[in-house]
Amino acid sequence: MRFSLQREVFLKPLAQVVNVVERRQTLPVLANLLVQVKDGQLSLTGTDLEVEMVSRVLVDEAQDGETTIPARKLFEIVRALPDGSKVTVSQSAEKITVQAGRSRFTLSSLPANDFPSIDEVEANERVRVPEASLKELIERTAFAMAQQDVRYYLNGLLFDLREASLRCVATDGHRLALCESPLENGAQTKRQLIVPRKGVQELQRLLEGGERELELEMGRGHLRVKRDDVTFTSKLIDGRFPDYEAVIPIGADREVRIDREVLRASLQRAAILSNEKYRGVRLEVSPGQLKISAHNPEQEEAQEEVEADTRVDDLAVGFNVNYLLDALTALKDEHVVIMLRDANSSALVREAANDHCRHVVMPLRL
């Protein structure tokens, strides 16, 4: 096996794949990348048995073959080489030689046959979605996933495939983020898949936006995302996601319309003096204004007053300020709408212009 290519061309697929490889492994071969050269194309595969990433690139002077190479070492070597250098990788027996200019590195390898492959995905549903849409769905919801919750099905992101749209939903039990995007060619069947945290993070890192179309293949235990240069596969969390639609407040008819950036800045300032453990802030709504206050055990207090388009009178609700700030960061519109019912009910936060992204934040007793 032998191939040559420019450092910059080699570095991009390496960077995509190396993040999947765990620093601590149960099997030595999982620290390596599967490197395959066939018909002038190089493919690099990394896996941790939960998530698999295959990246492809065209190469010069190729000689077909396959082996495995230590992932981090190869990535660090290529990254440290000078810009514009031509990298040649060749194999003799169990050693791999990486050459560029006057630099030469010899690495050990393991047989390609030892490299595990994720089972073939028996796709029972395929949909096409623009890369920019999927990137936006994940970015606007992934922050609300639970971390190491005993309710394991919350430690991931729900892909809810509907007849004409794809929804992403995440919740940690205290807040919920939902965003949806229309599908040109809708799904044949309704499906719900829960992608684990690591799969979501790798997918987020991989997506670049733009008009390219991705193909999503959904099987019983896997989700596969295909792009012309990359194939990403993740195992799914085997569990039932809670009925999230029941969490979205109904009857929250008291509306507060407000400038998103002004509210975000006020909350950030008030948060400085909030209780470090509970991070509580109190929102008091009266006609034309929103008052934000926070205090802590040291008897310190912050107060902010913000102009708001509202007719609501005499309503005060407490919230975790971090949850409100996360929701405001995920929304993009200049103005947001906060829908309230009473002091003991969740708030619904959405953009003023549309409601394809919605955030629910549970109240906090202060």
Structural domain spans, the chain:
2-114, 125-245, 248-361
pLDDT reading at 251 higher than 90: no
Residues in the chain: 366
Share of the chain above pLDDT 70, in %: 100
Separation between Cα atoms, residue 135 and residue 225, nearest integer Å? 12
Query: CATH topology of 125-245 equal to that of 248-361?
Result: yes
Average pLDDT over all residues of the chain: 94
Confidence class for position 171, pLDDT limits 50, 70, 90: very high
Is 366's pLDDT higher than 80? no
At the top level of CATH, which class does the domain 125-245 belong to?
alpha beta
* Second-level CATH architecture of 2-114: Roll (3.10)
| Distance (Å, whole) CA 263 – CA 291 | 10
pLDDT-based confidence at residue 121 (cuts at 50, 70, 90): confident
Predicted confidence at residue 24, as pLDDT, reads 85
Identify the band that residue 101 occupies on the pLDDT scale cut at 50, 70 and 90.
Answer: very high
CA angle, 151 as apex, 165 and 364 as ends, to 5°?
A: 85
Using one digit for the tens of pLDDT, what is the confidence trace for 184-194? 877 778 899 99
Report d(CA 230, CA 226) in Å as an integer.
6
Helices (H) and strands (E) in the chain, counts: 6, 25
Instruction: Identify the pLDDT of residue 186.
Output: 75
Q: With 0-12 CB in 10 A as exposed, 13-18 as middle and 19+ as buried, what is 112?
A: middle
Q: Which residues pair with residue 171 across a beta bridge?
A: 176
Q: Which residues of 127-142 are buried (b: 16+ CB within 10 A; e: fewer)?
A: bebbbbbbbbbbbbbb
pLDDT value of position 180: 96
Residue 284 per-residue DSSP state: E
Whether residue 123 has pLDDT greater than 90: no
Q: How many CB atoms lie within 10 A of CB 326?
A: 16
| pLDDT at residue number 258 | 97
Query: Looking at the predicted structure, is the pLDDT value of residue 153 above 90?
Result: yes
pLDDT at 287: 97
Taking the C-alpha atoms of residue 179 and residue 132, their distance in angstroms, rounded to an integer, is 13
pLDDT at 167 over 90: yes
Residue 209 is predicted with a pLDDT of 85
Order of strands, sheet of 301-307, starting from the edge strand that comes earlier in the sequence: 301-307, 289-295, 280-286, 315-320
Torsion of CA 128, 130, 136, 141, to 10 degrees: 0
pTM over 0.85: yes
Q: Which two tokens stand for residue 182?
A: 């229309």
CATH fold of 248-361, please? DNA Polymerase III; Chain A, domain 2 (3.10.150)
Higher-confidence residue of 220 and 135: namely 135
Residue 294's pLDDT is 97
DSSP 77-140: HHHHSPTT-EEEEEEETTEEEEEETTEEEEEE-B-GGGS--PPPP--SEEEEEEHHHHHHHHHT
pLDDT given for residue 254 in this prediction = 94
